[in-house]
Amino acid sequence: MDKHEEVLIALRQIIRAIDLHSRQLNKSTGLTGPQLVLMKAIRDSGEVTIRQLSSNTNMSQATATTILDRLEKRGLVVRERSKLDKRKVHAHLTAEGLANLDKAPLPLQESFVSRFQQLDEWEQSLLLSSVQRISSMMNAEHLDVAPMLEVGSITQTHPDDTSGHH
């Protein structure tokens, strides 16, 4: 087998692992990975604005807002005006949101991160430069993505939900 074929197989295996984990997460919680990441950020940040949330999760404000809209419709998150500064809106988890978060499995990237951080510095750098080169070769380096291992829609929770309403 040619080396380029082996690289493509490894990439497909990575994509497949991410897809399987995404499906497991969705099946067990009804949440997407980005929704889970945003809910964790809300829980861990206390009084937090949408701008701070988007910064903490490396999502655009538009993406964070879209996800919050979806979570609010499901009764997992509420948004309230700040009592100190009426211009600010803070996101809070509801009791149901907290319960969903508690039963959620660890995101795939958490086990990846712990294993990656156990590698020597030189190997981390080697892997980083290799993956960045692959991203560049696929003309993907300009895509705006958050540092999470997920595939598919950031807001849809059911594969058959093709209504287009987010």
Kindly report the pTM of this predicted structure: 0.67
- The tens digit of pLDDT for each residue in 115-161 reads 999 999 999 999 999 999 998 888 877 776 666 666 555 444 444 44
- The tens digit of pLDDT for each residue in 5-53 reads 999 999 999 889 888 888 888 887 888 888 888 898 999 887 788 888 8
Pairing between strand 77-81 and 89-93? antiparallel
81: helix, strand or coil: strand
List the chain domain ranges.
3-105, 106-141
The CATH topology of domain 3-105 is Arc Repressor Mutant, subunit A (1.10.10)
Q: What is the pLDDT, as a whole number, of residue 155?
A: 47
CB 154 within 8 A of CB 67: yes
DSSP state of 144: -
CB 33 within 8 A of CB 157: no
